Amino acid sequence: MAISRDVTTTVRRRARGAARRLRVAGRVLVTGQGAPAGAEAAEVTAVPAQGSADPVYFGWTRYSAHFTDDKGLAFKASKRFKDESAYLDHLWSPERMTARDQIFLDLAVPVLQRWTERHDYRHVVTYSPEMPEPWIGRLRAAAERYPVLSLHPVEDGGINEIVRRTLEAERPGSRPVVWLRVDDDDLLSLDFIDVLDGHVRSHGPGWAVSLSKGLEAVYHEGRVTHLRGRHYVLGALGQAVVGSWDAEQGTLDLPRPGNHMTVDTRLPTVLDSRRATFAYLKHTGQDSRTTKPPTIEELVATHLRNTAVVRHPHNVLPRFPTLADVYDPEG
């Protein structure tokens, strides 16, 4: 039977479209991309694997910690400071720490604590015991107020070692183990783990997940302004890696993602950009390659010039309750 040219063309067009959507099959599973700023998709749903145990989640923040390694002191990497003392003066200076202290302890941690109401979540904070006051005192006071925080000096090692020792001490049953990095000047949404949880239960150990839609804004003197939408594919913020804990063997298999921008070359990766799940806050104390801190005007011109204004903040901000408290639409 002859097949018409129109039918053949249609079939080929659909095949090409499917090929484009699956061009990175086995590396990235795309579950949604590019909704307009302020637009939100439906809740993510997933069917858990039958008999699977609930995942345990570990967030990790390196709280302006001073590390040394086989390659030399950390300050050498910056190429900005003549010696270690000058580097530490900068690392813990009020100009650099004030915004980070406020963003992490006042805006981020209360949300992390609320995650524990629905999920087995704990947040590891690596810090330097020699960090001066008031920063070290504020951090320890926050850990007393918010049990979600688990403080670890740099000598305790990286996240894999901390997770392994934690699970060995608690001895839970076999289950998926998930870790995500959270910088000390970033925010995640109230439903971040809810969204992530669906993917963890659907795909399991050995996968990475990149929740790639979020917000971007300027933080200055306790206020958030210039709210924008952000589509950040494979960014560090919003990325998680799924491993597993074998209770019988007492072993942890927790893959390290390496460079977050190329994680999909090492692990199969879910990419989900359906709803805003992070807020990337810009401030004058951010680390940069220059010796002069950026001004607010420079932050806006450099980081926000190509991003879309969030036209309906009231649709998004309820999932970022602490950000909503300090958002200034007139700023």
Dump pLDDT digits (tens) for 193-223. Answer: 999 999 999 998 999 999 999 999 999 999 9
**What per-residue confidence (pLDDT) applies to 43?**
45
Amino acid identity of 295?
Answer: T
What is the model's pLDDT at position 86?
Answer: 87
Nearest by Cα to 217 from 297, 303, 275, 290 = 303
Under a CB-based contact definition with an 8 Å cutoff, are residues 252 and 163 in contact? yes
Judge contact between 56 and 177, C-beta under 8 A: yes
Instruction: Kindly give the parts of the chain with pLDDT less than 70.
Output: 1-52, 69-79, 288-293, 296-297, 299-306, 331
C-alpha–C-alpha distance, residues 6 and 321, integer Å: 53
Q: How many CB atoms lie within 10 A of CB 98?
A: 17
Q: CA angle, 122 as apex, 119 and 123 as ends, to 5°?
A: 135
The predicted model scores a pTM of: 0.82
Label residue 37 exposed, middle or buried (CB < 10 Å: 0-12, 13-18, 19+). buried
Q: Which token pair is 147?
A: 């049990």
CB 38 within 8 A of CB 313: yes
Distance, C-alpha 32 to centroid of its chain: 18
HSE (side-chain half, CA atoms, 13 Å) at 59: 31
- The residues, ordered by sequence, that sit 6+ positions from 89 with a Cβ below 8 Å of its Cβ are none
Instruction: Compute, in degrees rounded to 10, the torsion defined by CA atoms 111, 115, 117, 122.
Output: -110
Whole-number Å distance between alpha carbons of 307 and 228:
6
- Whole-angstrom distance, CA of residue 59 vs CA of residue 150: 10
- Which single residue is written with the structure tokens 């699956």? 22
Neighbours of 309 (CB within 10 A): 12
The set of long-range contacts for 7-11, using a CB threshold of 8 Å and a minimum separation of 24, is none
